[in-house]
Amino acid sequence: MSERKKINSKVGGDPELFIFDTSLNEYVPSCGLIGGTKAAGVSFSGAPRGVTWLEDNVAVELNFRPFIDPIDFYLGIPAMNKSVSAALKTISPNYVPKFVSAATFRSGQLDGIAKAQEIGCEPDYCAYTKAPEGGFDPKRLKRELIGAHELGTSRYAGGHLHISFNNHAKIPHYAIAMLCDAFIGLPSIIFDRQGPRRKFYGLAGLYRPKSPNYIEYRTMSNWWMNMEDIQLTNKSYTNKADWICAFFKQVFALPDLLAQNPDAMASLFGKLPLQDIQHVINNEDANEACKLYRDVEGLIFSSGVDGMYRRGAVHLNWRSLTDLNTTILRKEA
């Protein structure tokens, strides 16, 4: 039995996408086209094993079984993309999937569509919300649901991660969400340019508690489903797909570390510059994210968990982040 199976940590996801009509050059609501509900997704033609889809407001949500291995997770992404593209073609030859964080529909397009006005099935929690007297009160962490009137004709897509592990130490969900920010949300900033989605759904520390052993981390958009090649100058990664592979090794490392060495992770948590991490994510500052991750990396390597971290060769060192960010900025210029 592998070490990962012994500690029973898994990562799944429910990324969302929009349907784009190439003949009309506009986004199309998924309502009435896909089927499925939050309670039960439906299989579709050519779907990989364990993958379903459903209508979520005007977007399409994909659900897939959790993985215990980051490489299997990573290899499943292009397979899902290919099957979704093919399945949409059976509905209309002009339909293509768009893994973008935001889509704007033309004026009046969403009027009269009841499902387009249903925003959110349950509220998010924000890990950084403190009680007036200080400290963290789980009852106060729940956010108000966002209304359709606040979004106008725009809708936003997430790339939520479902993280589970044997939480014998009873680490509180808000602390796990903050660690997700440090390990996942912070380095993702270089690709996860959410723009208007950020203030609604992409703030630091957003999560939903599912069970004592299970959290849904909700800060990221669906950027990780979009693997177009970006040539990099760093020796370690030659394109975006390679970097995403390394990124998901880091994602999977977090629940492993929490399960196997909770005391060292508690020590790390107490040293992390959490307010700075929150600020950088909320302001989507990629340059500062690279600088701040250098500090986070140093804390990881001095916290007592770096042995396992290095053995898995999973860390995204700050130099590669800086190099990658520079390449992206040059490409965007």
Measured N-to-C along each axis, helices 274-282 and 286-301 cross at an angle, to the nearest 10 degrees, of 150
CB 85 within 8 A of CB 22: no
Instruction: Judge whether residue 73 has pLDDT over 50.
Output: yes
Span 217-256, pLDDT tens digits:
999 999 999 876 544 444 455 566 777 788 888 899 899 9
Span 98-148, pLDDT tens digits:
999 999 999 999 998 988 888 877 889 999 986 555 566 666 677 888 888
Mean per-residue pLDDT, 71-87: 92
Average predicted confidence (pLDDT) for the chain: 86
Pairs from 48-52 (Cβ < 8 Å, separation ≥ 24): 48/76, 48/79, 48/80, 48/83, 51/80, 51/83
Give the structural domain span for 27: 11-332
Query: d(Cα 156, Cα 16) in Å, to the nearest integer?
Result: 9
Look at residue 76 and tell me if it is in a domain: yes
How many domains does the chain contain in total?
1
Look at residue 5 and tell me if it is in a domain: no
Look at residue 2 and tell me if it is in a domain: no
Look at residue 306 and tell me if it is in a domain: yes
Span 137-161, pLDDT tens digits:
666 677 888 888 899 999 999 999 9
Query: d(Cα 260, Cα 308) in Å, to the nearest integer?
Result: 10
CB 202 within 8 A of CB 191: no
Query: d(Cα 68, Cα 20) in Å, to the nearest integer?
Result: 33
Look at residue 240 and tell me if it is in a domain: yes
Look at residue 17 and tell me if it is in a domain: yes
Look at residue 4 and tell me if it is in a domain: no
